[in-house]
A = this chain, B = another copy of it.
Amino acid sequence: MNAFNVNAADRDTLQNMQQELQQQFDALKSAGLNLDLTRGKPGSEQLDLSDKMDGILNGIYKSESGIDTRNYGGLDGLPEAKALFSAALNSQPENILIGGNSSLTLMYQTMLFAHLFGLDGPGTAWKDEKDVKFLCPVPGYDRHFSICEELGITMIPVAMDDNGPVMDDVEAMIKADPAIKGMWCVPRFSNPTGVTYSDETVDRIAQLGNISSDNFRVFWDNAYALHILENNAPVLAAISAACAKHGTENSVIEFGSTSKITFAGAGLAYMSASTSNLKAMKKHLGISSIGPDKVNQLRHVNFFTDFAGLKSHMDKHAAILKPRFDIVLNILNEYFSDNDALTWATPKGGYFVSVDTQPGLAKRVVALAGELNVKLTPAGAPFPYGKDPSDSNIRIAPSFPSVEEIEKAMQAFVVCVKLASVEKALK
């Protein structure tokens, strides 16, 4: 059964394979599955890790720095929170702004302010340009792309390899087209491929501000900065240090959140940026906000105490997540390591396993899985405008279901991939 090679099989063999797979598929269909591998959200066991957050203040709402967190004031966050999360972003406290509960919102606001008003002062608003384009390493995060689409920013896909975005391409495109005003990056445990950008890639990205047109910004979404699955996970170089070296401090803005550290939706979002970028952000946030929830910031500071506490908390997440990723990877290995029906990377962190079918099969696999009530992220979602040109990428998110559910879902997934592959070979 494990020998699965549609290329080597003749038509009779393929028809036999199809028949057998169809039987398995029908059996799964009547099994009444109800499984979901779509969303990169924490499981309840992970959320339990932070249950002490409520009540952690013990009635003391004043920060060590003397701020009554219950009242107005402080547009950019508590000093204690800045110190803690500057370590998480490999930055400096004076470069940190702590926002609300959503780094997506911070990214949206940053892009909005760049679009409407310009981060470099009067005359630098992107909306006044004839055309604004963003480079989008693919596959990537669909919600980044939705922001660009909403603001009318043209997205240009860029290929990724094991080191991150293909930098020769990135540099050539930026040199050739002054309409390119930025790039999305998820530099560690990239969503969904799991790739961590190499030191050289980080250094080359830090130099883009020197070859780009004006008002260029890399959106460095370090969403999985601390989200390792094992201790030997690759480390990301500090982009802020690289920018300082190359004199491009304004060209990269870094983001992160505790959505997948404490509570998803009740965590903290933060950004690291140059003095000039922070000044622009605070100017416009001062119009649109009374400041972030400082009580929740104090809770986070008390809960972790320091960066060591934060890292040891992440080890507990890893212990819960690792078996979930292992079951996905073990099943992929078992059924597809000896054939080319599916390829994938083995992530050392993050929230996803990204797989590639043979070209033209991703949509079919997702549809077949849907028939089995196994929900997969829509094929194409990790691409600008939802279009995967080779229709091959599928993002698997194993964090939320139980190990047993993941195993069932993956067994069903295997049947769907094989069935779609045989169908194609028979065409």
**A residues apposed to B, CB below 8 Å:** 39, 41-42, 44, 47, 50-51, 53-59, 61, 68-74, 100-102, 104-105, 108-109, 112, 116-117, 143, 146-147, 150, 259, 263-266, 284, 287-296, 299
Q: Which of A39, A69, A265 has the most CB of B within 10 A?
A: A265
The chain B residue sitting closest to A259, CB to CB, is B290
Structural contact, B71 and A265, CB atoms closer than 8 A? yes
Residues of B close to A112: CB separation below 8 A: 112, 288
What B residues does A73 contact at CB under 8 A? 265
Picked from B41, B59, B264, B291, the residue with its CB within 8 Å of the CB of A54 is: B59
Interface contact B266-A70, CB-CB below 8 Å: yes
Contact of A284 among B51, B55, B72, B150 (CB under 8 A): B150
Please name the residue on chain B nearest to A74 by beta carbon. Answer: B265
Contact B68 A44 (CB under 8 A): yes
Q: Are A72 and B264 in contact (CB under 8 A)?
A: yes
Q: How far is the CA of A53 from the CA of B299 in the complex (A)?
A: 12
> B54 contacts A57, CB within 8 Å?
yes
B265 adjacent to A72 (CB under 8 Å): yes
Point out the residues of chain B lying under 8 angstroms from A290, CB to CB: 101-102, 104-105, 259, 264-265
Rounded to whole angstroms, the CA-CA distance of A72 and B108 in the bound complex is 18
List of B residues within 8 angstroms of A53 by Cβ: 295
Cβ of A108 and Cβ of B287 under 8 Å apart? yes
> Contact: B287 with A265, CB < 8 Å?
no
CA distance in complex: A276, B404 (Å): 43
CB proximity of A110 to chain B, nearest CB, Å: 11
CA distance A108 to B288 in the complex (A): 6
* Contact flag A146-B287 (CB < 8 Å), given A47-B68, A55-B54, A70-B264: yes
> Is B70's CB under 8 angstroms from A47's CB?
yes
Please, how many angstroms separate the alpha-carbon atoms of A306 and B295 in the complex? Answer: 23
- Please tell me if the beta carbons of B293 and A266 are within 8 angstroms of each other in the complex: yes
Contact of A71 with B293 in the complex, beta carbons under 8 Å: no
Residues of B within 8 A of A288 (CB): 104-105, 108-109, 112, 147, 150
6 closest A-B pairs by beta carbon, nearest first, are A55-B55, A266-B295, A108-B288, A47-B70, A70-B263, A54-B57
User: Which listed residue, B41, B57, B150, touches A72 by the CB 8 Å rule?
Assistant: B41
Q: Could you jot down 9 A-B contacts, CB within 8 Å?
A: A39-B72, A47-B61, A47-B71, A54-B56, A71-B263, A101-B293, A105-B290, A112-B112, A150-B284
- Which residues of chain B are within 8 angstroms of A42 by Cβ–Cβ distance? 71
Residues in chain B near residue A72, CB distance under 8 A = 39, 41, 259, 264-265
Given contacts A264-B290, A266-B294, A296-B296, 8 further A-B contacts (CB under 8 A): A47-B61, A50-B70, A72-B264, A72-B265, A100-B293, A101-B293, A116-B116, A259-B290
Min CB distance A116 to B, Å, is 8
